[in-house]
Chains A and B, each alone.
Chain A
Amino acid sequence: ELKVEQNPLFLSMQEGKNYTIYCNYSTTSDRLYWYRQDPGKSLESLFVLLSNGAVKQEGRLMASLDTKARLSTLHITAAVHDLSATYFCAVDGSGGSNYKLTFGKGTLLTVNP
């Protein structure tokens, strides 16, 4: 059974600081996703990571994937208040051809002025 663990679950940051969210998963996988969720809203796709060593960046967020360590990171650079949200990693596991997404519990990020 695929398990996905995120840490930290809660993160309070000051504006301008850097921090990293970690996502570990238990079995090999085809893809890893990062999503953002604002309160009361659906999920917004941030990144899709497909292969070992993949790195993607969008604004102040950068995601990376190490498939050998089964680890993905979401790095936040010079945080701003608008980044306050819950961030989820999710792993695309397959039992044969039955793909399904397994989520971590999420990291609630609060960026303080």
Chain B
Amino acid sequence: DGGITQSPKYLFRKEGQNVTLSCEQNLNHDAMYWYRQDPGQGLRLIYYSQIVNDFQKGDIAEGYSVSREKKESFPLTVTSAQKNPTAFYLCATRGLYGYTFGSGTRLTVV
């Protein structure tokens, strides 16, 4: 059963702490994306990767970092430099017929 697995579903971050959100896919898609959604807002692109070992900044990359060491995995680290990280984070892949989205991680600063 192909799809995208995001974990954890809920994540709490203390001030000054780095946290990493996991995104794993078994769709064999080359392209992977991270989007951020704030309440009542659309989705904004953080980072994306078209192939392994390569990634590009999106519109709001500051305070975030990514890696793409394997085709299946595209983890997102929210660093302490991200001053307002509370949001809903969605991972996506792009295949021949369009985009597939994970179920999301809700990150809250405590």
Q: Is A42 within 8 A of B42, CB to CB? A: no
Which of A55-63, A69-77, A102-110 makes up part of the contact surface?
A: A102-110
Shortest beta-carbon distance from A90 to chain B in Å = 8
Shortest beta-carbon distance from A7 to chain B in Å = 13
Q: Is B101 within 8 A of A43, CB to CB? A: yes
Q: Is A33 within 8 A of B90, CB to CB? A: no
Shortest beta-carbon distance from A104 to chain B in Å = 6
Q: Cβ of A100: which chain B residues have Cβ within 8 Å of it?
A: 33, 45, 48, 58
Q: Is A42 within 8 A of B99, CB to CB? A: no
- Binary contact track A49-69/B, C-beta < 8 Å → 1, others 0: 000000000000000000000
Given A42-B90, A100-B48, A100-B58, A105 contacting B42 (CB threshold 8 A): yes
Given A31-B98, A42-B101, A42-B104, A98 contacting B56 (CB threshold 8 A): yes
Q: Is A98 within 8 A of B50, CB to CB? A: yes
Q: Is A103 within 8 A of B101, CB to CB? A: no
Which bucket holds chain A's interface residue count?
20 to 34
Chain A at the B interface: SS class:
strand
Q: Cβ of A4: which chain B residues have Cβ within 8 Å of it?
A: 42
Cα(A104)–Cα(B40), bound, Å: 11
Q: Cβ of B31: which chain A residues have Cβ within 8 Å of it?
A: 99
Q: Is B48 within 8 A of A103, CB to CB? A: no
Q: Is B43 within 8 A of A33, CB to CB? A: no
Q: Cβ of A102: which chain B residues have Cβ within 8 Å of it?
A: 45
Q: B interface vs A, CB < 8 Å? A: 31, 33, 35, 40-45, 48, 50, 56, 58, 90, 92, 94, 97-99, 101-104, 106
